[in-house]
Amino acid sequence: MERVANAGRACGMAYRVLAAALLSGLLLAGLCPGAASAAESAPGFSWPAGARAAVSLAYDDALDSQLDHALPVLDRHGIRASFYLQLSNASVARHMAAWRDAARRGHELGNHSLFHQCARSKPDRGWVEAHRDLDTTSVEQMRDQVLLANSMLAAIDGREERTYTAPCGDTLAGGRDYLPAVRAAFVAIKVGSNGGVVEAMDTLDPYAVPVLAPNGMSGAELIAIAREAARRGTMVNFTFHGIGSDYLAVSAQAHAELVRFLAENRSLFWTTTFLDIMRHVRREQARLPLAPTSSGAP
């Protein structure tokens, strides 16, 4: 009898809950027609000024050929880009004024660590010096050095917000992922490669942005990759090294063709610093209902 009474009470409660749910649904649908479908009707991810894609032109390692062949072309076309300085590179000390002037003209100076540690154990890594081997560097050492690199960059350009490109895309310091120890100091981090074109903006992890490092590609090939980003409505991250000389190089002509194409198609391509692009991406992701739960966002 008691069980029957309990069952009756439970049933009544379930009925009231169901009725309340139905009623609230009817109220939402009838009195607040926009409320029930707010999530579905939120406008999707978009770029500023109706652009179809964002393009990040980045240059790693602080190479002289970037000062000689990339910066003049970028400045001539009014395109801002990102230069990821390896701060121990002699070019930084030798051309400090030039790097500082580039920042003054609106280019981004990004963090590429002090010593560019990469994993010597990987294939074709004989060039990694023993004292700069990420395999024998601890997470704590990388954290201290990467944070110090931020301070040094601030001393050069006076800015506070920063992005990071992991040298060689390697993340294991002494066998442990060091990126969680430095994420909070950055708006975004580039790591790994996938061809450079992001598949979907709403699910992109700002702390695992893929890049393309062009090597010997023609202007037409580079432009085709930018067009692919526009077709997808996403972004492309070019990470250059040598321009016209140095290593992993593309010719100065191929690079200039890409920059000219982007400058002539500003309505289609939002080409600016990786920092500005990723600040926009994070704002859009926060606005969208399906924003990813980022791993350790500050």
| Rounded least distance, CB 100 to Zn ion, Å | 21
The rounded distance, in Å, linking the Cα atoms of 41 and 12 is: 36
DSSP 149-189: HHHHHHHHH-----EEE-GGG--EETTEE-GGGTGGG-SEE
The length of the chain is 298
Site for Zn ion in 2-61 (CB under 5 A): 60-61
The DSSP 8-state label assigned to residue 126 in this structure reads T
Give the strand pairing for 108-111 and 82-85.
parallel
For position 170 contacting Zn ion by CB under 5 A, the verdict is no
| Rounded least distance, CB 239 to Zn ion, Å | 8
Site string for Zn ion, 57-86 (x = CB under 5 A): ---xx-------------------------
Closest CA to 81 of 89, 68, 71: 71
CA distances from 34 to 29, 40, 152, 275, 291 (A): 8, 10, 50, 35, 21
How many residues touch Zn ion under the rule CB under 5 A: the total is 3
Q: Which is nearer to Zn ion, 167 or 219 (CB)?
A: 167
Site for Zn ion in 228-257 (CB under 5 A): none
The DSSP 8-state label assigned to residue 246 in this structure reads S
Q: Which is nearer to Zn ion, 40 or 124 (CB)?
A: 124
Cα 205 to chain center, whole Å? 8
Residue type, position 176, single letter: R
Q: Which is nearer to Zn ion, 61 or 257 (CB)?
A: 61
| Rounded least distance, CB 60 to Zn ion, Å | 4
Binding residue for Zn ion, selected from 53, 166, 167, 269, defined by CB under 5 A: 167
Q: Which stretch binds Zn ion (CB under 5 A): 32-40, 159-167, 217-225, 265-273?
A: 159-167
Q: Which is nearer to Zn ion, 53 or 114 (CB)?
A: 114
Q: Which is nearer to Zn ion, 51 or 275 (CB)?
A: 275
Residue type, position 131, single letter: H
| Rounded least distance, CB 154 to Zn ion, Å | 21
The rounded distance, in Å, linking the Cα atoms of 146 and 255 is: 29
Q: Which is nearer to Zn ion, 110 or 206 (CB)?
A: 110
Residue nearest to Zn ion (CB): 60
Residue ranges that bind Zn ion, judged by CB under 5 A = 60-61, 167
